[in-house]
Each structure stands twice: as structure tokens, then as C-alpha cells.
């Protein structure tokens, strides 16, 4: 079975697989002295006869191991299989990427109706997800952007993904990005749009840093890094625009960005003028913005 989207998934309930996993973790902890581990698509490790099981053998082995149980354990608490979305359902030792936090914060600041209650829960530690298992707010790893999907600058600059350069006819990557371009798609010289984008970035960053839980900031978001609307930069066969070598002036939230700007390190062009023309402001619901 393929629960990861990358091919057949390792059978994590087989004794030999479990031995390989635990020996590897102990090696990295004891010999390399790492402080902890972040498990990509961690729900795949807890599948017992296809279903995700909180009593899976992998969790039992981690719980009783005198070395691994004392390290930081961070789960991406989902996989791509049926029933794989497990946010808030990992055992007490674990902290989790809080996908519901990301979705709630994005929805609130783009003005989606009826999101205040959910936003308040995420802002104050997501007790509805973690309190019942005895976990504290630090079990929630809060994030707005990650290595997959839009960067923060792109989140406020594009209504849709722009993955055409990946050679998959823009079919790769999620269509559920909950973004808002603030009135123009991609780079623009419109001063009002640029000011609104910059304000939205500050709103999102302030929310992330002031929420209860552990904030996770995507590298480069503090500099206005852009991927040119690409949500899957790792799929590029050419040099990706997702490098952190982006200059501050090369951001779609900056008024200095000309049509066809390059947001890449070096001279690689991310845009060739596409989407850079001025667009009228959208007649969308009123968005929440703070003064200044």
C-alpha cells in the first residue's frame, strides 16, 4: 500500500522494520547526539492492518525506549491514505504540526466568515486537541507556512498555485491553499495592493508569534522569500525559485518589484512578465487587516 504518495510504504508493524527504525533512531540519538526527530507523514508509521492506531507497536517501542522517549518527538500527524489525518490524536510524548492552526489562521485573515471561534481556539493553545491526552500547549507546533505550499509572501500574493514549470500542467500540489492575493495576482506595482500585502504579512507573523504553543517559521519568510507562486518547488527540474538567497527587494510584497522580477539567488528568472500586469481589486468579502 502507498500511504505516502512516493511509492510502496514500509510495513512499520513488521518486527524487522521496527528494529531498523528503532536502531536508526538510537544511532542518531546516541552517536550523533541529535536532540530529537521530526517524522514526515508520521501517521504511516502507526498503521496496523491499514488503519492508523494510537496503540501501534511503533508508539509502544518509542514509549518504553530509555533513549528515544527522552528526545523531542515531532509528528507531521497525517499521511495520504484513508483516515490518515490524525491532528490531535498522537500519544502524550509527542508534539504535532498543527494543521488545523494553519488552516484557521489563513481563513481568519483572508476574511472567511464564521472563523472567529476556530481562530480563538488555535490562538490560545488548541486545548480541544491536546488537553484530553494530558498535553500542554507546547504539544502544538504552530505554523502558517511550511516547506510544502506557498511561502508567506506568496500566500498574500496569489489566489492559486502556479506550478506550470514543473511539467505537470499545474496538477501537482494542493488546490486548498486558503490564500488571498490582496487584489492582484502575482507581482504588481499597485501601491495599495503592496501595502495591504505587507500588512497581511505582519498580521500573520504577529499571530504566529503571539499564539500559545511552539511557533515554526519557514526559513526566508522573514525576508519576503518567494517561489513565484509555486507550491511544489522540489519538483522543479531547473533551479528553483525557492532558495533563501532571495534579496529583500525581490519580493512581491515590495513596491520595488518590477514586472518579471527574479526572486531567485543569482540571475535565474522566476517570472517572464506573466501575471505581472496590474489587476483591478477583487470584489471579495471584507478582509481583516490591522492599522499600520
Strands 36-39 and 72-75: parallel
- Tell me how far apart the alpha carbons of residues 156 and 253 are, in angstroms, rounded to a whole number: 8
For residue 153, give every residue at least 6 positions away whose Cβ sits within 8 Å of its Cβ, in sequence order, or none. Answer: 197, 201, 221, 224, 225, 226, 251, 252, 253
Q: Which of 2, 40, 51, 60 is flagged as catalytic?
A: 40
Q: Which of 76, 96, 154, 185 is flagged as catalytic?
A: 76
Question: Using CB atoms within 10 A of its CB, is residue 113 exposed (0-12), middle (13-18) or buried (19+)?
Answer: exposed
Quick check: 162 and 232 in contact, CB under 8 A? no
Known catalytic residue: 221? no
Side-by-side strand order, sheet with 214-216:
36-39, 72-75, 95-97, 140-143, 214-216
For residue 241, give every residue at least 6 positions away whose Cβ sits within 8 Å of its Cβ, in sequence order, or none. Answer: 226, 227, 228, 230, 233, 262, 263, 264, 268, 270
Strands 214-216 and 140-143: parallel
Phi and psi of 35, rounded to 5°?
A: -80, -20
Known catalytic residue: 131? no
For residue 164, give every residue at least 6 positions away whose Cβ sits within 8 Å of its Cβ, in sequence order, or none. Answer: 170
Select from 230, 250, 243 the least CA-distant residue to 165.
Answer: 230
Just list the catalytic residues: 40, 76
Amino acid at each position: 500500500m502507498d500511504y505516502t504518495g512516493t511509492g510502496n510504504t514500509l510495513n512499520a508493524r513488521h518486527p524487522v522494520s521496527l528494529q531498523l527504525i528503532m536502531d536508526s533512531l538510537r544511532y542518531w540519538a546516541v552517536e550523533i547526539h541529535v536532540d530529537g526527530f521530526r517524522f514526515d507523514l508520521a501517521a504511516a508509521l502507526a498503521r496496523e492492518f491499514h488503519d492508523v492506531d494510537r496503540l501501534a507497536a511503533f508508539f509502544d517501542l518509542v514509549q518504553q525506549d530509555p533513549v528515544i522517549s527522552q528526545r523531542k518527538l515531532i509528528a507531521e500527524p497525517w499521511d495520504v491514505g484513508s483516515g490518515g489525518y490524525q491532528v490531535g490524536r498522537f500519544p502524550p510524548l509527542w508534539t504535532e504540526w498543527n494543521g488545523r492552526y494553519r488552516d484557521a489562521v489563513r481563513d481568519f485573515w483572508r476574511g472567511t466568515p464564521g472563523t472567529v471561534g476556530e481562530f480563538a481556539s488555535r490562538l490560545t493553545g488548541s486545548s480541544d486537541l491536546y488537553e484530553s491526552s494530558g498535553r500542554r500547549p507546547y504539544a502544538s507546533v504552530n505554523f502558517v507556512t511550511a516547506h510544502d505550499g506557498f511561502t508567506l509572501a506568496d500566500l498574500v500574493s496569489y489566489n492559486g498555485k502556479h506550478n506550470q514549470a514543473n511539467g505537470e500542467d499545474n496538477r501537482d500540489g494542493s488546490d486548498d491553499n486558503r490564500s488571498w492575493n490582496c487584489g492582484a495576482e502575482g507581482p504588481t506595482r499597485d501601491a495599495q495592493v503592496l501595502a495591504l500585502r505587507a500588512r497581511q504579512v505582519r498580521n500573520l507573523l504577529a499571530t504566529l508569534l503571539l499564539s500559545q504553543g511552539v511557533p515554526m517559521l519557514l526559513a526566508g519568510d522573514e525576508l519576503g522569500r518567494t517561489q513565484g507562486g509555486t507550491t511544489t518547488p522540489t519538483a522543479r527540474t531547473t533551479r528553483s525559485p525557492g532558495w533563501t538567497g532571495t534579496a529583500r527587494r525581490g519580493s512581491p510584497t515590495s513596491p520595488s518589484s518590477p514586472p518579471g522580477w527574479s526572486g531567485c539567488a543569482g540571475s535565474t528568472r522566476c517570472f517572464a512578465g506573466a501575471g505581472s500586469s496590474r489587476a483591478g481589486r477583487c470584489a471579495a468579502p471584507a478582509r481583516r487587516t490591522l492599522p499600520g
